[in-house]
Amino acid sequence: MNPNWKNFLLTENAIFNNDTDIVFPSSEHEGNKRIYPIAHLGVVTVAGIDAAKFLQGQITCNINDITDIKSSLGAICNPKGRAITTFLLVKNANAFLMILPQELLASVKKRLQMYVLRSAVTLTDSSDELCLIGCDSGLQSDDDPEHCFATSRQKNIIVNFQSRSLIIARADHAQTFWSEQLKLGFQPEDSAQWRYLDIISGVPWLSAATSEEFIPQMLNLDKLGGISFNKGCYTGQEIVARTHYLGKAKREMFLAECDTLVSPEPNSIIIDDSTGTEQSMGKVLYAQNRRNSCKMLIVLQVSDTNTYNLRLKDYNQDKITLLTV
């Protein structure tokens, strides 16, 4: 994180539990407008005259669909078609900004570097240069998928998440933007709550524990516009395409909730009591508590009857209820 940005947040009464968990003193907020510092995601800049061609051979989405006014989710896969990371890809002039989990950034950058070879491409960790801010207006979304990930530029890059916005800004601009939003009635909120909003929106972020566990369709990336089936070859494309053309994946991602007071760790095992066995039916992708409930994205074996009696295997028998993403 940029030190000037961190110092600014400290003057705004932010408390850093660690490098990625930022909280603010609890208080009763008026209205529904919230602003979030985001430190659990980082930014890799992919630049150079061969940047688009290079990325086209590495990612699931079609680089030609990404423009100054439209960003996209996507994934980088291993040769077996398993997602190493998911990302949000944003065009920035002649370069691309890849927003991805901070804990995967170094390993993903290293892996991509192996494929650069003689291409005119540079990969830069821009997490200190560029700050990420989340804004939630509290307005009900129209749920129009055409509006999701629409992108605009003023001083900063703004990516639309329907009722929310992700702002990508240089540190000095981030401070100005934050102050301006407070004057407009936005209230600072803990960074973990942005993760909660991503969960209930069905955004499938990975972690070190879940990297290379799932093919992109198991993460609903096909439903989120993050997979192109006509763009040509990329690493892992054969497995991803075969799954698509032979029918739907045997596992899918679901939004779920549980009354546990402790958020289950990624890859925690989920079992189905209706089977009468302790066999794993799925795993937790990631989870976040809010008030007295825990929301989570989970990847489950698809049931022919579409009925489940789910619980976390190692968390006090806590029952899991499926919701609609």
Q: How confident is the model at residue 277 (pLDDT cuts 50, 70, 90)?
A: confident
Q: Is the pLDDT of residue 42 over 80?
A: yes
pLDDT confidence of residue 143: 52
Residue 151 lies in a domain: yes
Tell me the pTM. 0.93
Q: How confident is the model at residue 62 (pLDDT cuts 50, 70, 90)?
A: very high
Q: How confident is the model at residue 28 (pLDDT cuts 50, 70, 90)?
A: low
pLDDT confidence of residue 316: 61
Please, which residues bridge with residue 323 across strands? 255
Same domain, yes or no, for 150 and 174?
A: yes
CATH number at residue 135: 3.30.1360.120
Q: How many CB atoms lie within 10 A of CB 159?
A: 21
The boundaries of the domain holding residue 253 are 216-323
Same domain, yes or no, for 122 and 265?
A: no
pLDDT confidence of residue 98: 98
Same domain, yes or no, for 278 and 160?
A: no
Given 181, 206, 231, which residue is the final one in a domain? 206
CATH number at residue 266: 2.40.30.160
The dihedral formed by the CA atoms of 263, 267, 271 and 277, expressed in degrees to the nearest 10: -140
Same domain, yes or no, for 284 and 188?
A: no
End-to-end C-alpha distance for the chain, whole angstroms: 31
How many structural domains comprise the chain? 2
DSSP 265: P
Same domain, yes or no, for 28 and 151?
A: yes
**Cβ proximity of 9 and 37 under 8 Å:** yes
Residue 211 lies in a domain: no
